[in-house]
Structure 1
């Protein structure tokens, strides 16, 4: 995390294919615009998030920041608010975000909140510590085709964000690496301005190293510097360098890692930018964390040379680099730039992508706008979506959706077919909506599924939804589809179809569509909430020896029956392919589990 001041490099815009550059909180009608200082084309974030409000910094801060950081989006509602981006799976991306409070609300209360990438916490944003704004960056490889960036409220202050920048990074400079990498890039200059796009075509941000407590000075050149190889370090970054104030002393560079236990990758960029005389030599030894790593190193003349250190832990999170001249050298050591990347451990796997696709399809189909339905549905568990439950194993295993309760949510239209792709679903509550059409047969084929459809009077209980007869039956109010598979040896299983009495001057509530006749009956508690077993002879009596066929589903024929001579039911009989179970049931006299 670095503090941000103004970035002054007025240049002509170049190709920005694949760039996502958002000015958060900017009105849609003002989008897009080209920032004259960076040449970057900014767009409004309004099409990528449906929550939050727009704010503007106090005018006293206008001179400190360029236009993209003068407005922000803040989030007074909800615990988690998320942006969702379409990305290319298994592609390296540079991801950055900018945060600047600027007393937009006039309270001088600097926010503190968490920033998440997908289901994992990326960083705690403490704007009281970074009153002039802060920027965080990461190298990340998405494992799916979508990427969520979420702001999570952790106290009483409201999260906010000023800008989001996502760049595909085509080359393999920093990979492959385990995990994601938190970025830190320094170059050595006596200015306060950053170097980025278009000098860096990938839009990496290079910040001047803070020399407040360092005994070094800056040297520079106007000569052209060659930067061959894969690093593509910007030439303005290589054109300046640091050397010690006292030529006889070593040059020290320090930085910290977060967390202190993080392993780091280090890239140190060198180039000789002074014209040496015949009797001059620059040669030095390189020590990283006190260990001698390279001896008698001489930077090549006006050409970049990079030295790397891989997966090194710094003692107590404090990294040190020492460049010490050799006895042969007539000139002190120098350094042009350094990149240090801390490995970010992201322990939580995203929710199973098939489940995510279904849940988002349900959200879109029924136009559900709940503020909690943002980001990953299941993780982290403390901010998972309302109305659903998930199963969690170890952190590295994708959670699965096991329960979906959409009762009384104003759902209209038919039951979405994608529900059948929630293969671990155990409970589905669609009661008390105004759903129409047929009850899909696939619900009966889903393992261990309990379906609640009470209160949808226009749903049909047979697949055709065409009036095969004038009388109609009630759809299942609570149907334990689990029974269909758990007691596979039992030939009879259930959709209980109940009629509910509604007086002629009242609108039916908590009732399903009626398949048989215009009469209605007083609603009674469904016996499906308890386990009941029936002998084969009892079921034969209920169905009048399986006389009347209602329809045929995936497991077999459905017959009409009467329970206790009054309550209408439907009895499903296993097909011929399950004849062995049927014969076993009949022979042993076992009952049917109606649960």
Structure 2
């Protein structure tokens, strides 16, 4: 089929939505026995249902096989009998539908070669989740059952797990599981990064066969037993161990009911593993006996060193004698996680973990008794993940739905599997994609082009003005289907020209994120130029800060926190989620727009700059931006970095805290940063906070936000956090405001309880007169239970 025909049919089918038969059960689980033919499944773990692999998930690609009879033993569960193999095509995918967009899911793929093809040669191939590399599958021997697992945030109502032929044997798969999780769990999982499981350990079971999973774990995580009676003493309880309120990991009671401690009370508990030391950067853990069933270790893309996140779970299982004290500290590579240690709570879960990824070649983690402890350390469970990027965005979902409908209707037999356009090397044959230089969601056809007469019609001759920026007036409009839009029309007197117009149009056609304003179309009709956006009914953040919004109401503190987080997420996506990265260059309160639900989106990309991710900065001939928000280091050196946006965002944070503008004019002009520093130097937060909030806030949260803002506005860019760091810290603030205590679920070696000595933070006001005056809005099942030892993972010592 010619590309032109494809695009014509796509236009005809533009209103067709991909219909995926409901695949999840009542719990949202999907369990597929890959290679199992027929229409009937069978009962799996607990009350789960194992579905047959009848071609529904793979569009009948691949062939079904049984493993060799020599590998079917008493301990081999039914789910390992068959495989689906893919002898043709570079990429073959399973499509799992009926999901909830934006929710987090466990994705688990299972493999047992079993010499199904008689070649006695296990293959090596790559796995992708959607368009993002997950890891490489390398089977050690025909009789070993293996799995890989990841936790990811799914951007659409479906997810694809793809097997990619790398030229070293035919890809195959034995089973595929998907399990939903609450959005609040595993805060390290974001739209930009997922977690690949390295190990999940249950310390202290009585034998090697005590695996914990569904129904004990509602999310069907598999907790592997760690048994070493020579080194450890096991302690246990039959009483239920409770999770704390708003628990971020929800470890099942069956896991927390057992723990270990050193037999020698003076010793510590130690875990050790290495990563990134081999040419292909595969994570390599300390050796342990090879089990029948093992966890395949993940690795990130070859250009990155393995990044890890470690989650340690604790619960006190015994009522301690009156004078006994159990107090723990965690040390990683000689660095303590807690300055004063912490106490596990009796029959209640507690956790310590790192929020930001760790980057070491070798990991030595120690749990030790600390302070005035009279009892040895304990640990109940541990989870260790590698972090992998999921920043590559697939083709626009509506386009995928339409082109897939065309594929089905016209019975296209080409190897059209996975995403139509991404990555380019795997794009569908003879399909034209509009991939742009800004690497975001590509489109199969071109985002709508309006004529000037059409703009006149949808705005009723530009009757209602919504606002005005450097580009021109913004008008209220309504499309033919009733969709309300905002039309930004360039005026003749605009200080933004064709260059800025084209820059914004080019960027907005290729970036898609919840917290970035979406462009519906554009107009370039002779001398007329306009951009058509989604309508943000509640105007700018600035209007809500200064009270000039329509309602005149004061934004509550919790709303301010949420808006700050959403805006930060939009900037984080520009910096980390786009390839190449984008620097906004005009972050300010008037360029943050709010919809009817007061959800925030970053707007105005006319000044934005894309830069090579291998470079540290972009050199510019002129400094542009808005006075009060411009990074003084950029102003001095002309070198633009992502930290320039961080600086501007720090100013926005201060506006949210104080309710005051970036430059105060009474009694004399002063930058808000200097104004805040002077008052906080005296330790008086009330002198800084917006009085209109009438004290309705947690003072600790306000201090923390002020601290974040002042770090963002440090004079030197190297001293400023990244937007990823800022997002993580803002999430902490929201947890704190919602009643989380730093002493329970928020234990984190990055988290500190002390606020900085403001008197030591000096700020020099930098003039901004040379800044362009821009005011733009700008089973495993039965056989799994017979595994004689834990999977490869960190060795306890």
TMscore range, shorter length:
0.5 to 0.7
Partner of 1:250: 268
Q: Distance in 1 between the 2:426 and 2:38 partners?
A: 29
1:16 Cα deviation from its structure 2 partner:
4.5
1:374 Cα deviation from its structure 2 partner:
0.9
Q: Distance in 1 between the 2:438 and 2:305 partners?
A: 20
Among residues 320, 336, 359, which one is paired with 1:276 in the alignment? 320
Aligned pairs for 1:348-359 within 5 A? 348-359=392-403
Q: Distance in 1 between the 2:26 and 2:74 partners?
A: 27
Q: Distance in 2 between the 1:364 and 1:128 partners?
A: 39
Identify unmatched segments of 5+ residues in structure 2: 1-24, 276-282, 284-298, 450-522, 527-797
Aligned pairs for 1:4-19 within 5 A? 16-19=26-29
Partner of 1:315: 360
Partner of 1:232: 250
2:84 paired with 1:93: no
1:242 Cα deviation from its structure 2 partner:
2.1
1:356 Cα deviation from its structure 2 partner:
2.1
1:438-489 CA distances to partner (integer Å, 9 max, x unpaired)?
Answer: xxxxxxxxxxxxxxxxxxxxxxxxxxxxxxxxxxxxxxxxxxxxxxx9999x
1:210 Cα deviation from its structure 2 partner:
7.6
Q: Distance in 2 between the 1:203 and 1:241 partners?
A: 21
1:504-523 CA distances to partner (integer Å, 9 max, x unpaired)?
Answer: xxxxxxxxxxxxxxxxxxxx
1:300-348 CA distances to partner (integer Å, 9 max, x unpaired)?
Answer: 22221122321131312x3332112236333211100112333211242
Q: Residue 113 of structure 2 contacts residue 142 of structure 2 at CA under 8 Å; is this kept in 1?
A: no
Q: Secondary structure at the match of 1:115?
A: strand
Partner of 1:81: 92
TM-score, normalization by structure 2: 0.46
Partner of 1:179: 193
Q: Distance in 2 between the 1:58 and 1:150 partners?
A: 25
Comparing 336-345 with 194-203, which one deviates more in the overlay? 336-345
2:77 paired with 1:66: yes
Partner of 1:152: 164
Partner of 1:34: 43
Aligned pairs for 1:128-527 within 5 A? 128=140, 132-175=144-187, 177=190, 178-183=192-197, 184-188=199-203, 189=205, 190-209=207-226, 215-229=231-245, 230=247, 231-255=249-273, 256=275, 258-259=299-300, 261-294=305-338, 295-316=340-361, 318-326=362-370, 328-370=372-414, 372-394=415-437, 396-401=439-444
Q: Structure with the greater relative contact order (CA < 8 A, sep ≥ 6): 1 or 2?
A: 2
Q: Distance in 1 between the 2:386 and 2:216 partners?
A: 24
The verdict on how the C-alpha distance between 1:364 and 1:280 changes in structure 2, with shifts beyond 3 A counting, is: same
1:354 Cα deviation from its structure 2 partner:
3.5
2:24 paired with 1:24: no
1:549-578 CA distances to partner (integer Å, 9 max, x unpaired)?
Answer: xxxxxxxxxxxxxxxxxxxxxxxxxxxxxx
- RMSD across aligned C-alpha pairs, in angstroms? 3.0
Q: Distance in 1 between the 2:394 and 2:228 partners?
A: 42
Q: Distance in 1 between the 2:360 and 2:388 partners?
A: 17
Partner of 1:559: none
1:83 Cα deviation from its structure 2 partner:
1.2
Q: Secondary structure at the match of 1:401?
A: coil
Q: Distance in 1 between the 2:448 and 2:411 partners?
A: 23
Quick check: which one's helix share is greater?
2
Partner of 1:552: none
Q: Distance in 2 between the 1:162 and 1:351 partners?
A: 28
Q: Residue 263 of structure 1 contacts residue 311 of structure 1 at CA under 8 Å; is this kept in 2?
A: no
Partner of 1:45: 53
Q: Secondary structure at the match of 2:432?
A: strand
1:490-535 CA distances to partner (integer Å, 9 max, x unpaired)?
Answer: xxxxxxxxxxxxxxxxxxxxxxxxxxxxxxxxxxxxxxxxxxxxxx
Q: Secondary structure at the match of 1:28?
A: coil
Q: Secondary structure at the match of 2:121?
A: coil
The verdict on how the C-alpha distance between 1:44 and 1:422 changes in structure 2, with shifts beyond 3 A counting, is: farther
1:90 Cα deviation from its structure 2 partner:
1.3
Equivalent residues, number: 392
Q: Distance in 2 between the 1:327 and 1:350 partners?
A: 51
Q: Distance in 2 between the 1:227 and 1:130 partners?
A: 41
1:107 Cα deviation from its structure 2 partner:
2.5
The verdict on how the C-alpha distance between 1:77 and 1:211 changes in structure 2, with shifts beyond 3 A counting, is: farther
Q: Residue 352 of structure 1 contacts residue 399 of structure 1 at CA under 8 Å; is this kept in 2?
A: yes
1:213-239 CA distances to partner (integer Å, 9 max, x unpaired)?
Answer: x94343333333223332321111112
Quick check: which one's strand share is greater?
1
Q: Residue 264 of structure 1 contacts residue 310 of structure 1 at CA under 8 Å; is this kept in 2?
A: no
Q: Distance in 2 between the 1:261 and 1:394 partners?
A: 26
Identify unmatched segments of 5+ residues in structure 1: 1-14, 403-420, 425-484, 489-595
Q: Secondary structure at the match of 1:355?
A: helix
1:388 Cα deviation from its structure 2 partner:
1.7
